[in-house]
Structure 1
Amino acid sequence: MLTVYFPAQAFATNCYVLATDRGQECVVVDPGIGVMPQLQEVLTAYDLKPTAVLLTHGHVDHVYSVTPVCGGTLGAYIHEDDRYRLGDPLGSLDPGMLSMFEQQVGQKASWKEPEQIVAISDAQKLSLAGLDFTVSHAPGHTEGSVMFGIDTVPDGLPGDVDVQSTVLSGDVLFAGSIGRTDLPGGSNEAMQKSLKDVVLPLPDTTLVLPGHGPGTTMAHERVSNPFLQNL
């Protein structure tokens, strides 16, 4: 699986581009703030054509560029419980956070909802750009946070990395940490349940590609992540 990712201009949100190979259709995951120039460079360099956008949840740092990526033709896939957030993701920012965001981007923030929104649900199977995704609902960071599982791994991994599948974990699981639960719609109780029932059952051979920070593996997180201990 061809996998390219880079951090957005603000909040260092990882934007992922996934395809079966160069010159094929691709899926864009979590196009955040200010990603369009670099995303276009990636699409051009690998001769890729976006066919859908997957959103791990509805926070502005993960969805800000979804409308220009989708245009009027591509679907934006988001869990039904976070669907409402695409109405006005900027509205959840307090004035101080919004001001900081605008200073980082260098322009006044604006928002237009994508034309085609596809509500997804737990355990749903998605076949997009030649790749098969499984949706795992994992609320806690937001009501509709999800992880996208794929039964393949990125090309070019080091030979000593023992992984057989991939999960795009959004802000559910990070290397050494988890997503915060103190924002509107967050719930520590729901997060603990998601970690126990959705994250911990993942095989050790799962590569974790998170919404922020470096990739990791379930084998590593199971023994080192303090938020997974004693669950």
Structure 2
Amino acid sequence: MLVTGFPSALFGTNCYVVATAAGEECVVVDPGIEVVGQLTEVLRELRLRPAAVVLTHGHVDHTYSVTPVCGAHGVAAYVHADDRYRLVDPLGEIASTGLLAALEQQFGRAATWAEPSDVVEIGEGAALELAGLRLQVSHAPGHTEGSVMLGVEGVPDGAPDGVTRTLLTGDVLFAGSIGRTDLPGGDHAAMLRSLEHRVLTQPDDTLVLPGHGPATTIARERATNPYLRDLVA
């Protein structure tokens, strides 16, 4: 399996491109802020053709480029039904926080937004058959109402020894930490339930590709992540 990831220009949000191999169709996961140029280069170098964009949740740092990416390739955006509303006006959601002003100051132009023309709502347990891949959807609210993790059987070429499957966790689980729950739509109690019933139930030999920061494994996080250790203590 081929997986290429790179951080966005703001907030370090990981955008992933997942495919069975070079020269095939692919799935783009979480195209964030100012990623279109780098994504275009990755697709060109690996001769990949997007079949869909899948969003782990609706925050703008994960969705900012979804519409231009979908439009350029004529594909749909997939998002959990509970975060569908966030695609209506994600810039409005951050305007009062000062983040919108910071974004516009950094890039020197006014931010604009338009919803993707084709949005597919997904839910718990859905199995997305896209680009020759099977993405298993696990609804894990807490960071947002519609946060999901995406499980894929198999691991990227060059993955560490001992891992047999891959989990794209969005902002549910990071190396050594978890997603914050103090933003609108966040719910700490829901996050704890997601960690207990969605994360800790994953096999130890799972490679974790998070929404921010480096890759890790379920085994490592079970042993060292303080938020998980508190749940199993």
Task: Please classify the TM superposition score into its range, dividing by the shorter chain length.
Answer: over 0.9
Match of 1:218 in 2: 218
Match of 2:202 in 1: 202
Match of 2:121 in 1: 119
Q: Distance in 1 between matches of 2:76 and 2:141?
A: 22
Match of 2:137 in 1: 135
Match of 1:28 in 2: 28
CA RMSD of aligned residues (A): 0.9
Letter matched to residue 84 of structure 2 = R
Counterpart of 1:230 in 2: which secondary structure?
helix
Letter matched to residue 83 of structure 2 = D
Q: Distance in 2 between matches of 1:197 and 1:136?
A: 10
Instruction: Note if contact 1:102-1:109 (Cα within 8 Å) is conserved in structure 2.
Output: yes
Q: Distance in 1 between matches of 2:97 and 2:180?
A: 20
Counterpart of 1:82 in 2: which secondary structure?
helix
Q: Distance in 2 between matches of 1:205 and 1:64?
A: 32
Match of 2:103 in 1: 101
Matches within 5 A, 1:31-42: 31-42=31-42
Q: Select the structure that is richer in helix.
A: 2
Instruction: Note if contact 1:9-1:104 (Cα within 8 Å) is conserved in structure 2.
Output: no
Aligned pairs, number? 229
Match of 1:84 in 2: 85
Q: Distance in 2 between matches of 1:202 and 1:157?
A: 18
Match of 1:110 in 2: 112
Which digits, 9 at most, give the CA deviation of each residue in 1:79-100, with x for residues without a partner?
A: 0000000000111112511111
Q: How big is the shift at 1:51?
A: 0.6
Q: Distance in 1 between matches of 2:82 and 2:203?
A: 27
Which runs of 5 or more residues in structure 1 are unaligned? none
Which runs of 5 or more residues in structure 2 are unaligned? none
Determine what percentage of the aligned residue pairs are the same residue. Answer: 62
Q: Distance in 2 between matches of 1:10 and 1:43?
A: 21
Q: Distance in 1 between matches of 2:176 and 2:13?
A: 16
Q: How big is the shift at 1:230?
A: 2.7
Query: Would you identify which runs of 4 or more consecutive aligned residues in structure 1 move more than 6 Å?
Result: none
Letter matched to residue 221 of structure 2 = E
Match of 1:48 in 2: 48
Letter matched to residue 147 of structure 1 = M
Q: Distance in 1 between matches of 2:52 and 2:90?
A: 20
Q: How big is the shift at 1:104?
A: 2.4
Q: How big is the shift at 1:106?
A: 2.7
Which digits, 9 at most, give the CA deviation of each residue in 1:44-92, with x for residues without a partner?
A: 0000000100000000000000001101721100000000000001111
Counterpart of 2:163 in 1: which secondary structure?
coil
Instruction: Note if contact 1:25-1:48 (Cα within 8 Å) is conserved in structure 2.
Output: yes
Letter matched to residue 12 of structure 1 = G
Q: Residues 199 and 90 (structure 1 numbering): CA distance in 2 closer, same or farther, change over 3 Å? A: same
